[in-house]
């Protein structure tokens, strides 16, 4: 695990001290979690921007509801697992 040294403005440092005191291990976990969330949010924003720039179209994907819900729609390829026979 890498260590990081960061500087915080006084207001942010005071808020951090209230929620995760320096003497507790909670502070490191709190900061790691905050960084992970921020990175995830950046990835989500980049993905959303990519979809805005180049949206999917119906031609981009094969969509067949039977593939997703065979129990209710029944598919010719379904088999009864107990007997191995087609339904």
Question: Rounded CA gap, 55 and 61, in Å?
Answer: 12
- Considering the chain, what percentage of its residues have pLDDT values greater than 70? 71
Q: What is the pLDDT of residue 70?
A: 60
pLDDT tens profile 63-78: 677 777 766 555 555 5
pLDDT at 87 over 60: no
pTM of the model: 0.58
Domain assignment present for residue 35? The answer is: yes
Count of structural domains within the chain:
1
Mean pLDDT of 15-23: 91
- Domain membership of residue 33 as a residue range: 1-56
Q: What is the pLDDT of residue 55?
A: 81
Tell me how far the alpha carbon of residue 48 is from its chain's centroid: 13
Instruction: Tell me the CA distances in angstroms from 8 to 5, 26, 34, one per residue in order.
Output: 10, 17, 14
Domain assignment present for residue 78? The answer is: no
Nearest alpha-carbon partner for 31 in 73, 65, 63, 1: 1
What letter does residue 79 receive in the DSSP assignment? E
Mean pLDDT of 50-56: 86
Domain assignment present for residue 33? The answer is: yes
Please report the DSSP string for 40-55 in residue order.
Answer: HHHHHHHHHHHHHHS-
Domain assignment present for residue 2? The answer is: yes
């Amino acid at each position: 695990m890498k260590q990081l040294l960061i500087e915080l403005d006084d207001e942010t440092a005071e808020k951090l001290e209230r929620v995760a005191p320096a003497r507790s291990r909670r502070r490191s976990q709190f900061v790691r979690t905050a960084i992970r969330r921020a990175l995830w949010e950046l990835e989500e924003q980049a993905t959303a921007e990519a979809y805005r720039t180049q949206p999917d179209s119906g031609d981009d994907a094969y969509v067949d509801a039977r593939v997703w819900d065979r129990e209710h729609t029944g598919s010719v390829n379904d088999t009864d697992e107990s007997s191995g026979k087609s339904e």
